[in-house]
Structure 1
């Protein structure tokens, strides 16, 4: 069970050359966590192995973002995106994540995630998008939250003339500064 942690306003950073790596089984239970992950999230290996990866989920993250992730990786595709995570003390850290299926002889065994420190400009662009998705989710109610926020995100990206993947990659590489988003 995920521990009850109260979020703080303290941001945790890690070096640009550091990479957070984890692996999960098909249900999202952690099977591997590198030392950077353990240090940044402030968990011992024994506290992470075998538990759901959502142990680091921050409440500022819309459910729709994770539905998009799961839908993508369960189709066998890789997913890129920005994620606000929470440490064991309630502090937060932003990552740019790349999640891919971990395959053996063509069959998925689980998922492999590599995360880098998210650029400040990308965070500034994604925060209002996630805030709007959360607002839509609260308004829609639990049963329709994910679908409602994802529909808004899809419509917003269509209006910008881009795809989700291109949007987040452009943000990461500084090619797009989030202009044109709407609420």
Structure 2
């Protein structure tokens, strides 16, 4: 398996899945730059991290190496446009295992409409969703492995957009379809 590095540690990804409970909701908050300011107990239980290991760090510290960077480019595009994001995400546990979630990320604004950060709620994905999304993510990752690393996420998003065009669906329609799978 691939490795995911951060300034703090290197975690070697292993092929062991941790399942999110049916009634489990993984919650986190970040500041406007993506630095974690809050995680709930379910987040810690599923990921194996404790608060002190994540608070103040970028949320991407739990990004699994088999997760296309293009998905996160799409996430940031939506959030910067003041829209919520829905997506399937493969995250990395502290011990190298992984867990899949259906994520909803929304901008967190104050009473005057100023961005304070982001709020994310993640839950167990629909049963058939991961089988449907993995081949698309594999094509996106393949594209990201070629050529210029800086343009890789944009090229990866184009793979997803081409797939959606073939299906005659918008991204949100596709997410809704997968959520019902």
TM-score (norm 2): 0.93
Structure 2 gap segments, 5+ residues each: 1-6
Counterpart residue number, 1:87: 93
Give the CA RMSD over aligned residues: 0.9
Q: Give 1:2 deviation, angstroms.
A: 4.9
Counterpart residue number, 2:169: 162
**Aligned equivalent of 1:134, options 133, 141, 153:** 141
Q: Give 1:49 deviation, angstroms.
A: 0.7
User: Quick check: 1:119 aligned with 2:126?
Assistant: yes
Deviation sequence 1:25-58 (CA, Å, 0-9, x none): 0111000000000111101111111011111100
Q: Secondary structure of the equivalent of 2:118?
A: strand
Summarize the alignment of residues 1-183 of structure 1 with structure 2, pairs less than 5 Å apart. 1-105=7-111, 106-174=113-181
Count how many residue pairs are aligned between Structure 1 and Structure 2.
174
Moved over 6 A (4+): none
Give the Cα–Cα distance (whole angstroms) in 2 for the partners of residues 140 and 75 of structure 1. 28
Q: Secondary structure of the equivalent of 2:120?
A: strand
Q: Secondary structure of the equivalent of 2:82?
A: coil
- 1:130–1:2 CA distance, 2 compared to 1 (3 A): farther
Give the Cα–Cα distance (whole angstroms) in 1 for the partners of residues 79 and 58 of structure 2. 16
Q: Give 1:151 deviation, angstroms.
A: 1.2
Q: Secondary structure of the equivalent of 2:150?
A: coil
Q: Secondary structure of the equivalent of 1:120?
A: coil
In the alignment, is the contact (CA less than 8 A) between 2:20 and 2:101 conserved in 1?
A: no
Deviation sequence 1:92-146 (CA, Å, 0-9, x none): 0000000000010211100000000112310000000000000011123302101
